[in-house]
Amino acid sequence: MIGRGAYGEIWLARTVTGAFRAVKVVYRSTFESERTFLREFEGMSAFEPISRAHPGFINILHVGRTADYLYYSMELADDHLDGRKIDIGSYEPRTLKTDLARQERLSADESIRLGLSLTEALEALHKRGLTHRDIKPSNIIFSENVPKLADIGLVAASGQRSFVGTEGYVPPEGPGTPRADIYSLGKLLY
């Protein structure tokens, strides 16, 4: 296991061709009802082709489900120390959170580049009528040194009102709108 969140676990996997992937498993028991579980599955299935439409989205490669869980495989983030060299015994995904743990702050130039890249990704997401709802350092991963929006399972149609988000990054009015995503991005870059 390479990660854990409120909704599931992320595992390091290897395909039959030897390529490494991340697989997120989201358990049915974490949802209030069968309806919300199915809505999450349908949302991920709909997002799968969209994920490949912009370089700022983590690529979702396959979505599936059983009665007890849903899962999706996605491109793997760089290793936080070794980039694309993956050692299964020590792999840890490179995120903005791991970068900040090593260097505390980004330079002004790095912040500007990151901000522009993520703004373009959010614009593409918002043009499709979707919002992310949980932009924070651990949800920005790097793949081949490119920053990407991750934890796409939280993406929702704009205006959807179930509360999702992380304290410190959610605007006072709550998540679920493009403006709220921009607020969260501003907090992240600050």
Domain with residue 110: its CATH number is: 1.10.510.10
pLDDT confidence tier of residue 83, bands split at 50, 70 and 90: confident
Count of domains observed in the chain: 1
User: pTM for the whole thing?
Assistant: 0.86
- 88 pLDDT band, cuts 50/70/90, is confident
pLDDT band of residue 159 (cuts 50, 70, 90) is: very low
Q: Is 68 designated active site?
A: no
Is residue 30 in some structural domain? yes
Query: Residue 104 belongs to what domain range?
Result: 3-78+93-189
Torsion angle, alpha carbons of 59, 28, 139, 152, to 10: 40
CA distance 64 to 73: 9
Q: Which of 78, 79, 99, 134 is catalytic?
A: 134
Question: Is 108 within a domain?
Answer: yes
Q: Cβ(131)–Cβ(175) under 8 Å?
A: yes
Range in 75-79, 161-165, 166-170 the model is least confident about: 161-165
Confirm whether 109 is domain-assigned: yes
Classify residue 146: in a domain, yes or no.
yes
